[in-house]
């Protein structure tokens, strides 16, 4: 049984014990599925242009702490590290230990290892104290889990002040999020990736009446 790549582990792992009780169940991961090749390929496609648009919109300032949730192989983190040239602490969080190891290796190969901190963590329960980062990014991650919970966590770890920024890139299905009062506190940038083009919305979000 091959588990789809576009599902987060939190979505399919609870099913494994049930399947194993009745079937011989084989789960595949890491290099057997070519995940790194897939993720790195996006860094050589129009996806990187979407990422650059996102980073332009959030306007990173020297000294600000930047977090990417669901960093994968580190395409966005390395772009950030090249842009900021050591002027900003950069944190990448991912639940997958294989992806984190590969991301660290790729960063080291580009001489960027000392500019990025990699941590284990779930997007729905970030392993960070409240108000500890200035900019929180999420690229093509919210559609793979509980988007509402993820957004609450992104808001929690950024300080409650006007300059707080959150940004995400993703497909349309990740944009159907219930309105919550705490979203009014954050200037949020959305960039939608459609393969043959991009959409952009940089208006501050306010809760529904």
Given CA atoms 138, 142, 144, 150 in this order, what sign does their dihedral have? positive
Domain ranges of the chain: 34-192
- Where are the extended beta strands (E) located within 47-195? 66-69, 90-94, 116-120, 135-139, 165-170, 187-193
Q: What integer best gives the mean pLDDT of the chain?
A: 76
Residue 192 buriedness (CB in 10 A; 0-12 / 13-18 / 19+): middle
Tell me if the domain spanning 34-192 has CATH number 3.40.50.150: yes
Work out the average pLDDT over 14-22. Answer: 87
Please list, in sequence order, all residues whose beta carbon lies within 8 angstroms of the beta carbon of residue 136, skipping any fewer than 6 positions away: 67, 69, 154, 155, 157, 158, 165, 166, 167
Number of Cβ within a 10 Å radius of residue 61: 12
Work out the average pLDDT over 53-71. Answer: 92
Q: Per residue in 147-168, pLDDT tens?
A: 899 989 999 999 876 555 555 5
Distance of alpha carbon 196 from alpha carbon 193, whole angstroms: 8
Distance of alpha carbon 192 from alpha carbon 175, whole angstroms: 9
69-78, 121-130, 155-164, 165-174: range with lowest mean pLDDT: 165-174
Work out the average pLDDT over 165-177. Answer: 47
């Amino acid at each position: 049984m091959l588990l789809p790549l576009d599902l987060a582990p939190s979505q399919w792992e609870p099913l494994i014990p049930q399947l194993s009780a009745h079937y011989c169940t084989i789960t595949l991961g890491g290099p057997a599925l070519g995940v790194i090749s897939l993720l790195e390929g996006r860094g050589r496609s129009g996806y990187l242009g979407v990422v650059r648009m996102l980073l332009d919109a959030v306007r990173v300032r020297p000294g600000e702490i930047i977090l990417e949730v669901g960093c994968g192989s580190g395409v966005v983190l390395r772009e950030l590290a090249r842009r900021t040239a050591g002027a900003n602490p950069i944190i990448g969080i991912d639940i997958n230990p294989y992806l984190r190891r590969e991301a660290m290796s790729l960063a080291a190969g580009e001489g960027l290892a000392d500019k990025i901190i990699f941590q284990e963590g779930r997007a729905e329960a970030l392993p960070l104290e409240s108000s500890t980062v200035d900019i929180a990014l999420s690229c093509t991650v919210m559609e793979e889990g509980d988007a509402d919970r993820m957004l609450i966590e992104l808001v929690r770890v950024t300080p409650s002040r006007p300059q707080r920024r959150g940004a995400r890139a993703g497909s349309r299905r990740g944009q159907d999020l219930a309105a919550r009062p705490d979203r009014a506190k954050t200037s949020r940038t959305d960039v939608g990736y459609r393969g043959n083009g991009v959409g952009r919305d940089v208006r501050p979000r306010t809760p529904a009446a």
